[in-house]
Amino acid sequence: MSLFDGEIVLGLPRKTMAILMAILVLFAVGASVYTLTFGKTFKAPSGDGIAYERSAVQLLQKGFYGYKSKVPNAYMSPGYPLFLAAIYGASGHTWSGRPRYLLDAIQILIACTTIIAVFLIGRRLFGDWAGLVAAALVALYPPTTIATNLWLTETISTALVAWFVYVVLAAYDDDRARWWAVAGALLGLGVLIRPGILPIAAAPFAVRFLWGKRQGLLRPLVGFSVAFALVMSPWVIRNMIVLHEPAPLSTHGGDPILAGVDPYYYESGDPRYRFHGPTYEQYMASKDRADSKSGAAKKALIAELKAKPLQTVWWYLVGKPVRMYSDGWLGERKYAGSWTTFIRGLIVALGWLGCLLAVRERRLRVLAAILLIGTATLLMVSPEPRYVFSWIALLTIPAAYVLRIAWDGALAASGAASGGPKGEPGAR
C-alpha cells in the first residue's frame, strides 16, 4: 500500500501531508545544494564558532570543558560544544580535520524538525492552512538555510524552542504531568544551548494564571520544574565539584550586558551615538579591569541615565528591538539580501500584528507571551540581530494567522460582490 493511500496519513489529511513533505524535501534539497555551492565559503568557523569548536576539541583531547580557556570554567553554557564534541568524536575527527559536511547535514535535519514543529503549532492553533503557511515561511527564509552551515547555536536552539512551544500547547489541551515534564526537559536542553531563553519559562504559567484555569496550577508547575532541574543538574553538579560554585547558567553574562549599554557599539559612524563611559571596547582595551563587566555595565547605564535619560530609555525600549528585528542576521546582499529583507519584513510585521490580536484571540496568548518575554529579555543585552533568529521562526505562526484572516476577508468580499456564498473562516 502506498504511503498516500487513503484520506489520512500519519494523522494528517493526505493533501496536507503531501504539501508538508514537499516543503521539507524542497528545503532539505535546497539547503544541501547551498552547502555544496555557496556554502563552501564557510570552510571553517568564525567568531563564536571558533571558540565552540576549540572547546569541543579540547574536551575530546584533554577531557575537560573550558570555553576560551586552557583550564575548566563555566564561562559559556556547554550545550553546543557538547553537540560538536559528539559529532567530532563519532566521526573520528577528534585529533585533526573537521567533519563540516556531516555537521551541515545534521543541522539541516534539525532545521527540518523546526519546520515540522512550526507546522504542528500552527495546525494546533489555527488549522492546516496556517500550519503549512508558517512552515513554508520558515523554509523560505534564507537565514534558516545559511545557519545550517555555521558553527553556531541558532539552528539547534530554534528547534528546541519550537518544540518547547508545541509541547506547552499540547499540555494546555491535555493537562497531564508528562506533557509539562517534557516541556521542562526541552527548556532545560535549550538553556544549556542558550541561557538567554530561560525567562520564557514563565510565559505558559503567567497566561494560565491570568486567563486560564488557576485551580491545579501547582501540579504542572512542579512537574515542569523538576524535569528542568534534572536536565540542568549535571552541569550544576559539575560546576560545584570542579569550580566550587553552582554557576547554573554561565558566568559570562556581563559581556552582552556591557555591550548593550552603548548604542550602535559595533559601528564606527556618527560620534553622536557614542557614549563617553566605559563602553565595551574601552573596557576590553583597558589594562585595569577592577570592575567586572556587569559592574562596568551598571556604572555606564547609571551615568547615561543621568546624562541623557530620554535617549537612554528610548534606546533600551525602542532602539534595540527595532535594531534587532530590522537589520536581520545574515541579511547581507551576498546572502540573498533583497529576498531576505522582504520575507523578514513580512514575517516580523504580520507576526507582531498577530501578537497584538492575542488581546482578543485566546489561542495566541501563550505564543504571544513567549515572544514578548523572549524579546523583552534581549532589551538588557547588545542589539545583535542574531539573537532574534529563533523568535522570527515563531513569528511565522501569528503571521500565518493574519494572512488567514486577510484571505478569508478577501473571499468574503469577493463572494459579496458576486452575490455568491461567503468564504468559510479559517479557524480550527
Query: What is the per-residue pLDDT for 411?
Result: 81
For the segment 201-238, what is each residue's pLDDT rounded down to a tens digit? 999 999 988 887 778 788 899 999 999 999 999 999 99
Query: What is the per-residue pLDDT for 253?
Result: 62
Helix residue ranges per DSSP H, 277-388: 280-285, 293-307, 309-314, 320-327, 337-356, 365-377
Question: How does residue 167 score in pLDDT terms, banded at 50, 70 and 90?
Answer: very high
For the segment 247-274, what is each residue's pLDDT rounded down to a tens digit? 888 877 667 777 787 765 544 344 444 4
Q: Is 258 helix (H, G, I), strand (E, B) or coil?
A: helix
pLDDT at 162 over 70: yes
Which residue in the block uniquely carries the three cell numbers 551615568?
Answer: 303
Which position has the higher pLDDT, 57 or 174? 57
Query: What is the per-residue pLDDT for 285?
Result: 61
Query: What is the per-residue pLDDT for 427?
Result: 43
> Could you say which DSSP state residue 91 is in?
T
Which residue in the block uniquely carries the three cell numbers 461567503?
Answer: 422
pLDDT at 64 over 90: yes
Average pLDDT of the chain, as a whole number: 86
Query: What is the per-residue pLDDT for 103?
Result: 96
Query: What is the per-residue pLDDT for 2?
Result: 41
Query: What is the per-residue pLDDT for 409?
Result: 84
Distance of alpha carbon 328 from alpha carbon 374, whole angstroms: 17
What grid cell was written down for 192?
544549556
For the segment 387-418, what is each residue's pLDDT rounded down to a tens digit? 999 999 999 999 999 999 998 888 887 777 66
pTM of the model: 0.88
For the segment 309-354, what is each residue's pLDDT rounded down to a tens digit? 888 888 889 888 988 998 888 877 777 778 888 999 999 999 999 9
Contact 395, 364 (CB under 8 A): no
Distance of alpha carbon 259 from alpha carbon 265, whole angstroms: 7
